[in-house]
Structure 1
């Protein structure tokens, strides 16, 4: 595989992955006999049909970036990763990689089932370019991370799927790769090990490792990745900020849209942090301290869809006096007010109004639906109403967005009459820096008695 020359020019990040117009064609045979005929008579046609798993895919990833690859099964994700790893050659196009690649493409790839875990560690690491001395120095750390105990000296064919992926992941992260590729491998394993893997991925990311992360878990992509690429039918459907791309992908999967029905949207997430204070002044807001975050009036929804667009007439985040605010201080009362127009002919018994507050990466922080509480009966005369959700601001300093939704809860999976992700934006400002996402109500009390603690 050709190697890309390092780019150390001032102001130009080093590119570690460069995919240019990559396409991959497979020949599909109806019967084994057709395959044999094609081998014997290679110049004759008609024995197979063409299937293009990838079409003109281009991708550039710089050092230290974490890029998510999303798409339905069969969209070309795994084919693209195999081409980047070098296990497949593109039919057309060019691939250039700068540095060692470590990949977790699928369970069963890379390990010899008859060899022990120890032997597979040495074999796999050697295949990735490590010397025996380097592997020897890393082995204890690999064994400790994998947490498979005495099974390290047992044949891999005796491993559970969780043990297998733990060992494979441990090897991949210890070979000091320039590029780490993960294809759904972290879906296997318990929650504790998954958290351990995510922490390690974050460490690698901070150290400058380029990461390609394939997952159907939109939350994981939003948490780990700055950018995302959505593949559909072997082509790039959308590329841009992880939040914006995953929002469109979520809509696509929820509605089952066809190829021509996707809603176009900017590839950049709404609500850039640049110039917030200046825009806040233009909107009549004054910051009490320099650098205080503020929402902007120009922010547009990141995602807006549903079967009855227009059912949500307005969405606001207000202070205790009912005034719209861009900035809320610690523990300040907040009102989420939604004006609703109930669509004609819907089952009001299954109607639900919901809101959530997300951070700018798209992580749900606060979620509330009338369906969960079952405290409101929508079977009243008339179709227009306002609903208020009252809470206190317990969010740490930062920018946030409101999601407003009108749901049909007649089935186990909610269907949406209207869903607005980014209905409005606001900021929270806490004067003293605090760790964590929230400011919970915690009381502090020191307890003393006559018996010294050390004597108990």
Structure 2
């Protein structure tokens, strides 16, 4: 790959902050090491080091869309500031090729005392545009921001929504070669977010390089084709967005499992102390719910790498059946589709939910549903139908759940993701994944053009009248 093809190149970047416990320590650090050096003593540091980033390396090609994902505190915003040049790395190198437009922290790049109009010209000048070029783009910027007469008011009077509207409008209308977007878009309303994503897609289709940070996994999956996973300042992996997002979900699940395991241990310890206090001899059993995470990923098959969970239940297979109960992977709109999920229970358990998520080949979530959705409707309607959530399962038990629907989908290839989860409450408010399987099954939908034709991702079954 030629260096001319690279828009962003990050090589072995590290960023360290000095953390002082008091202003006095900061003063000591400023004065004493120099004095210690002069008198021949070994200098002493009066601060703690915090490595916000530790050995980050990746590259983004021109015209490529890349995402950066990770939990809060993983170093995402620090990395973006290093790339845009607002921070300097402690070590390592960062190269960028092309004019950068960045939408980072809310209001960054704006002078709060200037009006919206003045800030438009200020930002344009920073990006290297002449006044005439900004004049030519002003109407487009004002139209996209859509904040009316507020453009003539100081930015310090703006709401957070107005601030992000103007900031995004300025950055995307000034034709950047590299667009960097942080979580700021989350502030805008739903309609404005839709317009932003449409504009981002237009820019990327025109060859603009995108670096996108968001906790919204669907947005990352849709807008980017590769992603970088960060955790506590370290780079865990770089690869296809779909694979990195699965690894991110697995990371979140592992930490959740560790949290519940520690909670169980704390409760068991408290119970043991109470038993001693009351002279009771009752052994406590602490389930190791994180045992499934101890497997070495290097020895996993591709199927194993596409799944995660606590392991108290397992999805053994997912099959797609037609209306005759036969295996099939090709359907037309109007056909009946049955998704059969075979499960294996590893310990006595109840309060289960078996569900699926359907995505098209572009990675867009089309639908998600499970047995708990049906149970919720049963309770709401005070029906006496049996609830799956109340069913009790024994260790070693095997069963299957059929999820039926009439196909109203547009022509595409669809992926089925399946999951069995423990729901402590019957409303999705306290969920623990026992087993999740990506790419559990696939099916294709064809629209028969001569018989019944429609466009889009789903059939709304419209009627015309006149």
- What interval of TM-score do these two structures reach, taking the shorter chain for normalisation? 0.7 to 0.9
Cα distance in 2, alignment partners of residues 262 and 198 from structure 1: 39
Provide closer, same or farther for how the CA distance between residues 16 and 380 of structure 1 changes in structure 2, counting only shifts above 3 A: closer
Question: Which residues of 2 match residues 62-73 of structure 1 at below 5 A?
Answer: 62-73=61-72
SS in structure 2 at match of 1:371: helix
Instruction: Choose the corresponding residue for 1:37, options 8, 28, 40.
Output: 28
Residue ranges of structure 2 left out of the alignment (5+ in a row): 35-42, 259-289, 376-384
What is the aligned partner in structure 2 of residue 161 from structure 1?
160
Question: Which residues of 2 match residues 198-347 of structure 1 at below 5 A?
Answer: 198-256=197-255, 264=297, 300=303, 303-308=306-311, 310-346=313-349
Cα distance in 1, alignment partners of residues 63 and 294 from structure 2: 35
Shift of 1:113: 0.9
SS in structure 1 at match of 2:230: strand
Residue ranges of structure 1 left out of the alignment (5+ in a row): 8-13, 267-297, 448-456
Please identify which structure carries the higher helix content: 2
Q: Give TM-score scaled by structure 1 length.
A: 0.82
Q: Check whether the contact 2:345–2:393 (CA below 8 A) recurs between aligned residues.
A: no
What is the aligned partner in structure 2 of residue 417 from structure 1?
434
- Is 1:371 the equivalent of 2:369? no
Cα distance in 2, alignment partners of residues 52 and 145 from structure 1: 39
Cα distance in 1, alignment partners of residues 62 and 84 from structure 2: 16
Provide closer, same or farther for how the CA distance between residues 97 and 434 of structure 1 changes in structure 2, counting only shifts above 3 A: farther
Instruction: Choose the corresponding residue for 1:392, options 406, 410, 418.
Output: 406
Shift of 1:328: 2.2
SS in structure 2 at match of 1:394: coil
Question: Which residues of 2 match residues 398-413 of structure 1 at below 5 A?
Answer: 398-411=412-425, 412-413=429-430
What is the aligned partner in structure 1 of residue 446 from structure 2?
429
Cα distance in 2, alignment partners of residues 331 and 302 from structure 1: 35
Q: Check whether the contact 1:315–1:423 (CA below 8 A) recurs between aligned residues.
A: yes
What is the aligned partner in structure 2 of residue 357 from structure 1?
358
Q: Check whether the contact 1:355–1:405 (CA below 8 A) recurs between aligned residues.
A: yes
SS in structure 2 at match of 1:134: helix
Answer with 82-91 or 33-42: which moved more.
33-42
Q: Check whether the contact 2:52–2:75 (CA below 8 A) recurs between aligned residues.
A: yes
Provide closer, same or farther for how the CA distance between residues 66 and 42 of structure 1 changes in structure 2, counting only shifts above 3 A: farther
Provide closer, same or farther for how the CA distance between residues 262 and 51 of structure 1 changes in structure 2, counting only shifts above 3 A: farther
Shift of 1:109: 1.4
Shift of 1:363: 2.9
Q: Give TM-score scaled by structure 2 length.
A: 0.81
Q: Check whether the contact 1:301–1:424 (CA below 8 A) recurs between aligned residues.
A: no
- Is 1:28 the equivalent of 2:19? yes
SS in structure 2 at match of 1:387: strand
Deviation per CA, 1:260-313: give whole Å up to 9, x if none: 9697489xxxxxxxxxxxxxxxxxxxxxxxxxxxxxxx9847631222255323
SS in structure 2 at match of 1:84: helix
Cα distance in 1, alignment partners of residues 302 and 458 from structure 2: 24
Shift of 1:431: 4.1
How many residue pairs get matched? 404
What is the aligned partner in structure 1 of residue 461 from structure 2?
441
Cα distance in 2, alignment partners of residues 86 and 352 from structure 1: 48
- Is 1:16 the equivalent of 2:19? no
Q: Check whether the contact 1:24–1:91 (CA below 8 A) recurs between aligned residues.
A: yes
Q: Check whether the contact 2:177–2:209 (CA below 8 A) recurs between aligned residues.
A: yes
SS in structure 1 at match of 2:323: coil
Q: Check whether the contact 2:348–2:392 (CA below 8 A) recurs between aligned residues.
A: no
Answer with 402-411 or 381-390: which moved more.
381-390
Answer with 253-262 or 124-133: which moved more.
253-262
Question: Which residues of 2 match residues 86-235 of structure 1 at below 5 A?
Answer: 86-235=85-234
Shift of 1:46: 2.0
